[in-house]
Structure 1
Amino acid sequence: MAKKTVFACEACGYETLKWMGRCPKCGAWDTIREFRIEKDMPQSHEAPVLVSDEDLPEERIVLAIEEMDRVLGGGITCGSSILLGGDPGIGKTTLCFAIVSRMVELGYDTLYVSGEESLRQLSSRKKRLNLAGSFPILTTNHLEDILRAVAEKNYKLVIVDSIQSTYNSRLPMLPGSVSQIKDVSSRLIMEMKKSETAHIFIGHVTKEGAIAGPKILEHLVDTVLYFEGDKMLPYRMLRAIKNRFGPVDEVGIFQMRREGLISVENPSEFFVSERGDIASGSSLFPYVTGSRPIVLEVQAITPKSAFSMPKRLSLGYDLNRLFILIAVMEKMLGKPLFDRDVYVNVTGGMKVSEPAIDLAVAASILSSYRDINMGKHTAFFGEIGLTGEIRKIVNMEARLKECERLGITRVFCPRGVEKIGSPETIPLKTIRDLYEHVDEGSDHLRTR
């Protein structure tokens, strides 16, 4: 047993060999304290092993929760580490309860560890969700208790709720501190990977929306998932930020009901279901996230500004990109927007970062500016450069197929797209080509 004396910041976990009045990492005063840490000297006897593809095949457990399986890349990989973060009350525990219940139905031993709720609370939640099957629940936040329970039985899945509440009693830091999270997470991951036990850590998020704790926590795990959505709306989005066993930036759509979270089978129809008879300022955009396209609605309004500096506001679309797009439109089209406010919104709470949405945003702005109805069967996709050219983007064929599936008959897109299926493709070279279609009031767009 080796003893080590360190000075650590109670606020951020910064460690140093000497005392300082002000933490150089977080800037807090009088937060550095002296700690004596006892550590077991690691003794490793591992040797290199020659492996081939046939020796260690990848094993997955398909949950039959469609959106969860999709985000994970086809199911839970045995022995994988998953970090699930999200705002309080968004549904993280409800989702994990559904996963545990499904694992029990499939015949796998599963353990749910809760350091924040009592056994009575968890039992009441399970009864309210009407989940089938019984599974063991361990209510503790001591690391030693969790490791002992995992060692006694070979569980296929262990869920820890939450990783910030779990602590090692041999460390003098408070639960949730950086040093505690680093020690607890690394110990749990190391022990459970040895026994090929898949595990899910539920993580708290900060007010900025990032998972609380050190960034190394996201580096240690195999998969990082964010559970997003407005608690006042009935749907939730599960987004993969990191995934060693599947596509990154995959999105799963769930609907929150009284009986729990239900997978949304057709996200495109879900996001455009309330579109109906549209007015000006609206367009459709086939958004590719992960391995599938989803058709979203992009809205814009351009009212007259009452101020010398017009407002620019964007929800779901990068605001800096909106400034650039407006400047390109003013220069290439000769239509001033300095006397108009511009508000852009991607419906459904989706946040789109790919540049392919540029053409849809420009079409919505032009539609509102000219008071023209673009039609509910017309879609737009393409990147707009600084000189106004419409540039090619990735997965154009997949976008056209999704448009065809939804009954969209016309698609404005970059040049060079091969015609696939029924949608009529209208290739555009520059943004001026789009404006000419609007200005002429041709059959492609219905003028009011």
Structure 2
Amino acid sequence: MPKAKTAYVCTDCGAEHPKWQGSCAECGAWNTLSEIVLQPAVKSAGAARGGYAGKAAGASQVMPLTEVALTVEARTLTGIGELDRVLGGGLVEGSVVLVGGDPGIGKSTLLLQMLGTLGVQLPSVYVTGEESLAQVASRAQRLGLPLAPLQALAETCIERILEQAAQVRPRVLVIDSIQTIWTELLTAAPGSVSQVRESAARLTRFAKETGTSVFLVGHVTKEGGIAGPRVLEHMVDAVLYFEGESGSRFRVLRAFKNRFGAVNELGVFAMGDKGLREVPNPSAIFLSAHAGPTPGSAVMVTREGTRPLLVEVQALVDQSSLGNPRRVALGLEQNRLAMLLAVLHRHGGVAAYDQDVFINVVGGIRVQETAADLPALLAVLSSLRDRPLPEKTVAFGEVGLSGEIRPVPNGEERLKEAAHHGFRRAIVPKANAPKSGRVGELEVVGVERLGQAIDACR
């Protein structure tokens, strides 16, 4: 028998190499090359078109965009408001969505609940490669879902999955999970780079040619990224990540890529005995219910996607017994915390070089915007002085290296959200403050320098 030809593919960027080497020559990542077996594609009518009896794609032609029908893509509501928000307003026909997250976080539960509500209006199929049909039916009963509209298939071969899909013609197809799917054209093991890439490509082609909306469940690595080649995330239209702290019943669904909506959109769920339940007012769970004013606590208004959120930032400043005091940030960038402490010393006259500083964002949420600079410094100052901030006070703003308070986008919406939750005072950049100085019952204090913000907290 002729010797099988092999190649080595980078799991991060998908680049192929003729022989193994320590690092990828394209992206520079180390120890990411995995071996695959190269085989010529089988020329058959089914395999050439994705393994299903679909219509042959016509030859493409060059045409001006003025002749293309500029119609708004039709969206279908899934019946789960937080999921619709993250998807950009609903499910788009022919879209491919990749859902990742830690084991047991609720990926399969959310998609099964979605099919339970969509099955009445749209035919759908749940393909499971990790569980039996009895396990899927048992979970659906436990969640209280109607079993009549739910259709399931226990299969891992992509050719047979697409063959069944061509017969049933579902409008929504869920693959749980993509790492278990394999194709007969390759001899590599399921979950390998070549199998995941080829199976995802076949499913994407099927979705675009038939208009079926496809959801792919993806495993994650130890670092938290989607397992498999990085090109998998480039193939799909949207990438959603499920996040949640261990021991907490709250789950956060975040969009990291979305061709049909806003990126970094956020959906909040609570896990219960009947599955995932929507949290329409997530600001309530991100604010701690203190009996009274507490030192080291500051409330900020962050923005995730199109939604403003009230989040509590807590700080603990304590005398350090080490030569190099610790700087620990949970939910904020640690390097930015070190920079802000230097600005506080240089332009605020408050030294913390001999203190351990710990910053935590309540609820396990990660704040990635610069609007958290000012409330983080105010929380540190409050803990250092052991003096709480004025009651019902909210703050946001970016702090520059020269001590200036820079404006942040969507300041008016942030102020309206704070006023809606009963806050009475806001310390914000002067450029974000309204001319009247008030938003309803909320008094707005505009500041230009860090010293002015510190004085406003007395």
Which residue matches 2:400? 385
2:376 is the alignment partner of 1:351: no
2:67 is the alignment partner of 1:47: no
2:386 to 349, 364, 371: 371
1:89 to 104, 108, 119: 104
Q: Where do 1:134-283 residues align within 5 Å? A: 134=148, 135-283=150-298
2:122 to 105, 108, 113: 108
Which residue matches 1:426? 445
Superposition deviation, residue 231 in structure 1: 3.4
8 Å CA contact 1:22–1:31 kept in 2: the answer is no
Which residue matches 2:456? 437
2:39 is the alignment partner of 1:36: yes
Which residue matches 2:16? 15
Deviation track 1:221-245 (CA, whole Å, cap 9, x = no partner) reads: 1111001001310100000111111
Deviation track 1:393-421 (CA, whole Å, cap 9, x = no partner) reads: 10100000000100000000011321432
8 Å CA contact 1:23–1:32 kept in 2: the answer is no
Deviation track 1:239-262 (CA, whole Å, cap 9, x = no partner) reads: 011111111110000000100100
Superposition deviation, residue 22 in structure 1: 3.9
For 1:435 and 1:127, the matched residues in 2 are separated by: 56
Superposition deviation, residue 14 in structure 1: 5.7
For 2:9 and 2:247, the matched residues in 1 are separated by: 36
8 Å CA contact 1:299–1:346 kept in 2: the answer is yes
SS in 2 for 1:252: strand
2:332 is the alignment partner of 1:322: no
Paired AA for residue 367 in structure 1: S
8 Å CA contact 1:71–1:238 kept in 2: the answer is yes
**Normalising by structure 2, what TM-score?**
0.89
Is the alpha carbon distance of 1:97 and 1:55 closer, same or farther for their aligned partners in structure 2, counting shifts above 3 Å?
same
Unaligned 5+ runs, structure 2: 49-55
The farther-off stretch of 45-54 and 72-81 is 45-54
8 Å CA contact 2:23–2:33 kept in 1: the answer is no
Which residue matches 2:90? 75
SS in 1 for 2:344: helix
For 1:270 and 1:78, the matched residues in 2 are separated by: 34
For 2:33 and 2:405, the matched residues in 1 are separated by: 57
Superposition deviation, residue 32 in structure 1: 4.4
8 Å CA contact 1:6–1:16 kept in 2: the answer is no
For 2:210 and 2:43, the matched residues in 1 are separated by: 21
Superposition deviation, residue 101 in structure 1: 0.2
8 Å CA contact 2:221–2:227 kept in 1: the answer is yes
Superposition deviation, residue 30 in structure 1: 11
**Normalising by structure 1, what TM-score?**
0.91
2:353 is the alignment partner of 1:338: yes
Which residue matches 1:446? none
Superposition deviation, residue 128 in structure 1: 1.0
8 Å CA contact 2:10–2:33 kept in 1: the answer is no
8 Å CA contact 1:14–1:23 kept in 2: the answer is no
Superposition deviation, residue 24 in structure 1: 4.7
Is the alpha carbon distance of 1:383 and 1:4 closer, same or farther for their aligned partners in structure 2, counting shifts above 3 Å?
farther
Superposition deviation, residue 130 in structure 1: 1.1
Superposition deviation, residue 27 in structure 1: 5.8
Unaligned 5+ runs, structure 1: 442-448
8 Å CA contact 1:412–1:425 kept in 2: the answer is yes
Deviation track 1:353-384 (CA, whole Å, cap 9, x = no partner) reads: 10011000011001111111114410010000
Is the alpha carbon distance of 1:95 and 1:276 closer, same or farther for their aligned partners in structure 2, counting shifts above 3 Å?
farther
8 Å CA contact 1:37–1:171 kept in 2: the answer is no
Paired AA for residue 429 in structure 2: P
The farther-off stretch of 379-388 and 50-59 is 50-59
The farther-off stretch of 20-29 and 307-316 is 20-29
Paired AA for residue 47 in structure 1: S
Deviation track 1:155-187 (CA, whole Å, cap 9, x = no partner) reads: 110000001110112201111111111111011
1:401 to 416, 432, 441: 416
8 Å CA contact 1:9–1:23 kept in 2: the answer is no
C-alpha RMSD over aligned residues:
2.3
Superposition deviation, residue 422 in structure 1: 2.3
SS in 2 for 1:247: coil
Paired AA for residue 7 in structure 2: A
